[in-house]
């Protein structure tokens, strides 16, 4: 059967070719009843939009990409990313092409494919590694990109970031001012640049134990159990995210360790979880952070020079989980 | 300047045309060093992938779509959707094209554009309306779609849903068994099909007040204040989501109304919020629900007949926010 043309549809529906085009493309300028009739006729005639029509009609992919390397099940609990995505979308009139993959290699391959297939106009890079191959890849592909997080200054890429070093220093200083000397840190993934920055700040500020975690409740609980079971247990623990901190607070409760009398707890990434658990937390407006990242990416896509935007320092919100050190 | 071809790049890089193609498309079969050299050469020569190459190479858009109609700021707090998205991605090897829009009209227009531009192989439809124009639109476009939620049986579309009527009935029966007679409901958006189904079940089971909300903490707080300030305040309130329920519990606390002694609270959509607030809640595995929806959509995209999959009934998880009615 011959593939029906716009002209065939116009004739059958009794409208102009222009009206058919508007109707098929979801544009304004035709009434809803005309649109419905055109779609009906198009469907009856077996019309399918040409897969090349769009590619030929525009140089823009009309989407930007975000790849997350995470076990999907764990990702669903990370409110941070959904807030970030919501903030990004608040500044974009185009769609977000989102894909969750299981490895860094798969992530790299996906950017290459998206670039080769012209699927995205640019990408957000999150979870920056200490020595991150994506920075070089984006430069060699010439794919506009914004690094979200990290510590700023990534080759020729734009970035939007917060100063994790200064934030960690302020947390430790706060705990020291309450008399804490045995302070521990439950860190996130050690391959991530912001984890290393926080490690460095922590080690400069205090002589304390660092235990690695992977942001899950299980990791937070295990690290806390191990720290509290040691010969000289810490009197304060700083966690790299909200989920691990809440799990840590529950372990303390189950062991009969009273928060904050015997143990102070500080969480990174304030959230409704921290609010309702009354946890002292580092708070920032993740939604606004996402919005800022989107503006930076759209600017680069439109040809602006990449800029390095330092976000406001996260603010320490003191709630019931921190207090003076025991015996002080 | 002449647009460089694959052949030009192969000659300049000293590799075969096949190797260039593999390297540019992010496929296996070339070493990382070759890939890097090819990308460098391509970039130096000013190569840009053809925007039509992909369209011509495949009939598949290699993405499925999800449009959410929400104020982006409010969306970031809805853990439900991120769990759903994570579950969808766990079953997909392709990307999710996600866009947040501000109106139902914008949503409709977007599906038409995505269809016309062959941007997606199919779409997930969420937040089903009582009489939803999207069902008819998908049929007339011939765009594969799965209705997520709703109450099943939507024209010729596949659907994955849970029985909201039976779930609400079970909640009211549980509260009645505790002696509650004055039961109120803080409902979600009244335009949504599942809200209407829950309203109907509620009204059949008990003679109680229904107050409308929009899932925000503000709405939950305002509704609770109004209910508790009435002449005959309820002894139990059922909320349509976790955020409104937690806000309601805080209003009760601030008014000196003791939960559960004077007021029982039940939340829909169990979450970490409910767990930490010790709220009795209707629980379901939203991640698994998203995974099921993705499997249903992929099946339809591959040509299977649309099916109607009823998900397991949400389970009532009893925590500290419900108890026997006062004076009983």
Residue A26, Ramachandran bin (φ over 0: left; ψ between -120 and 50: alpha; else beta)? left
Between A65, A77, A95, which is nearest B272 by CB? Answer: A77
Cα A220 to chain centroid distance, Å, stands at: 20
Q: Is the pLDDT of residue B57 over 50?
A: no
Residue A246 to residues B78, B224, B285, Cα–Cα distance (Å): 19, 28, 21
- Tokens 């335009």 label which residue? B191
Roughly how many angstroms between the first and final C-alpha of chain B, as a whole number?
A: 88
Between B25, B40, B137, which is nearest A113 by CB? Answer: B25
- Would you place residue A48 in the very low, low, confident or very high pLDDT band (cuts 50, 70, 90)? low
Q: Is the pLDDT of residue A89 over 90?
A: yes
Q: Are strands A280-283 and A315-317 parallel, antiparallel or unpaired?
A: antiparallel
Q: Is the pLDDT of residue B55 over 50?
A: no
Between CA B119 and CA A211 the distance in angstroms is 45
Between CA B24 and CA A139 the distance in angstroms is 14
Residues A79, B76: C-beta atoms closer than 8 Å:
yes
Residue-averaged pLDDT of chain B: 89
- Would you place residue B59 in the very low, low, confident or very high pLDDT band (cuts 50, 70, 90)? low
Chain B hits for A81, Cβ within 8 Å: 82
Exposure class string for B35-52: b at 16+ Cβ within 10 A, else e = bbbbbebbeebebebebe
Average pLDDT estimate for B295-308:
92
Between A83, A108, A109, which is nearest B76 by CB? Answer: A83
Measured between CA atoms, how close is B207 to chain A, in angstroms?
33
Question: B6-57: what fold?
Answer: 434 Repressor (Amino-terminal Domain) (1.10.260)
Between CA B241 and CA B259 the distance in angstroms is 18
Q: Which of A326, A236, A221 is nearest to A280 (CA)?
A: A236
Helix (H, G, I), strand (E, B) or coil at B293: helix
Q: Scanning every residue of chain A, which has its alpha carbon at the shortest distance from the alpha carbon of B117?
A: A54
Which of 3.90.1150.10, 3.50.50.60, 3.40.50.2300, 3.40.50.300 would CATH assign to domain B164-284? Answer: 3.40.50.2300
Both tokens of A262, joined, read 């015997």
The CATH H-level superfamily of B63-160+286-311 is: Response regulator (3.40.50.2300)
Question: A62-328: what fold?
Answer: Rossmann fold (3.40.50)
Helix (H) or strand (E) holding B21: helix B17-24
Q: Is the pLDDT of residue B316 over 60?
A: yes
Chain A hits for B59, Cβ within 8 Å: 51
Measured between CA atoms, how close is B308 to chain A, in angstroms?
24
Measured between CA atoms, how close is B157 to chain A, in angstroms?
16
Between A26, A243, A272, which is nearest B113 by CB? Answer: A26
Percent helix / strand / coil, chain A, rounded to 5: 45, 15, 40
**Degrees to nearest 5, angle at CA A175 with A169 and A176:** 85
Average pLDDT estimate for B187-199:
93
Average pLDDT estimate for A51-71:
73
Both tokens of A74, joined, read 């764990």
pLDDT, tens digit, 9 for 90 and up, residues A310-324: 888 899 999 999 999
Residues B116, A25: C-beta atoms closer than 8 Å:
yes
Average pLDDT estimate for B290-312:
92
What burial class does residue B311 get, using C-beta atoms within 10 Å of its C-beta: 0-12 exposed, 13-18 middle, 19+ buried?
A: buried
Q: Residue A73: what are its φ and ψ, rounded to 5°? A: -60, -40
Average pLDDT estimate for A77-84:
86
Would you say how long chain A is, in residues?
328
Between CA B273 and CA B269 the distance in angstroms is 10
Cα A5 to chain centroid distance, Å, stands at: 44
Laid out side by side, the sheet with A63-69 consists of: A308-310, A158-161, A145-148, A123-125, A63-69, A95-101, B95-101, B63-69, B122-125, B145-148, B158-161, B308-310
Residues B36, A63: C-beta atoms closer than 8 Å:
no
Chain A hits for B73, Cβ within 8 Å: 86, 90, 287
Between CA A57 and CA A105 the distance in angstroms is 33
Q: Same topology for domains B6-57 and B164-284, yes or no?
A: no
Residues A55, B59: C-beta atoms closer than 8 Å:
no
B296 touches B88 (CB < 8 A): no
pLDDT of residue A321: 97
Between B48, B56, B276, which is nearest A52 by CB? Answer: B56
Cα A190 to chain centroid distance, Å, stands at: 18
Q: Scanning every residue of chain B, which has its alpha carbon at the shortest distance from the alpha carbon of A105?
A: B26
Measured between CA atoms, how close is B103 to chain A, in angstroms?
13
Between CA A21 and CA A27 the distance in angstroms is 8
pLDDT of residue B166: 95
CA quadruple A28, A32, A37, A38: dihedral, nearest 10:
10
The domain spans of chain A are 6-57, 62-328
B235 touches B262 (CB < 8 A): yes
**Degrees to nearest 5, angle at CA A161 with A156 and A167:** 140
A75 touches A68 (CB < 8 A): yes
Between B86, B117, B276, which is nearest A276 by CB? Answer: B276
Higher pLDDT: B50 or A152? It is A152
Residues B96, A98: C-beta atoms closer than 8 Å:
yes
Between CA A210 and CA A187 the distance in angstroms is 7
Residues B54, A118: C-beta atoms closer than 8 Å:
yes
């Amino acid at each position: 059967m011959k593939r029906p043309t716009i002209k065939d549809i116009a004739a059958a529906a009794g409208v102009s070719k222009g009206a058919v085009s508007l109707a098929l493309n979801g544009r304004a300028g035709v009434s809803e009843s005309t649109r419905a009739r055109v779609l009906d006729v198009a469907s009856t005639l077996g019309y399918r939009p040409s897969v090349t029509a769009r590619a030929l009609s525009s140089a823009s992919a009309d989407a930007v990409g975000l790849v997350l390397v995470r076990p999907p099940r764990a990702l669903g609990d990370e409110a941070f990313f959904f807030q970030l995505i919501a903030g990004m979308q608040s500044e974009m009139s185009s769609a977000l092409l989102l894909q969750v993959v299981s490895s860094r290699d798969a992530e790299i391959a996906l950017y290459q494919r998206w670039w080769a297939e012209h699927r995205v106009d640019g990408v957000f890079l999150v979870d920056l590694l200490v020595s991150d191959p994506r920075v070089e890849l984006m430069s060699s592909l010439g794919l506009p990109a914004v690094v979200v997080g990290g510590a700023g200054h990534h080759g020729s890429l734009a970035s939007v970031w917060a100063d994790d070093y200064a934030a960690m220093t302020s947390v430790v200083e706060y705990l020291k001012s309450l008399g804490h000397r045995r302070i521990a840190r439950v860190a996130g993934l050690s391959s991530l640049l912001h984890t290393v920055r926080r490690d460095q700040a922590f080690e400069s500020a205090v002589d304390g134990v660092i235990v690695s975690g992977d942001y899950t409740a299980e990791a937070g609980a295990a690290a806390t159990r191990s720290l509290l079971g040691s010969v000289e247990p810490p009197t304060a623990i700083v966690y790299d995210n909200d989920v691990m901190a809440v799990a840590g607070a529950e372990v303390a409760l189950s062991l009969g360790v009273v928060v904050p009398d015997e143990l102070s707890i500080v969480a990174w990434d304030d959230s409704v979880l921290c609010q309702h658990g009354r946890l002292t937390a580092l708070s920032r407006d993740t939604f606004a952070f996402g919005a800022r990242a989107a503006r930076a990416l759209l600017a680069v896509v439109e040809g602006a020079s990449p800029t390095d935007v330092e976000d406001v320092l996260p603010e320490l919100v003191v709630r019931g989980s921190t207090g003076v050190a025991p015996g002080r």
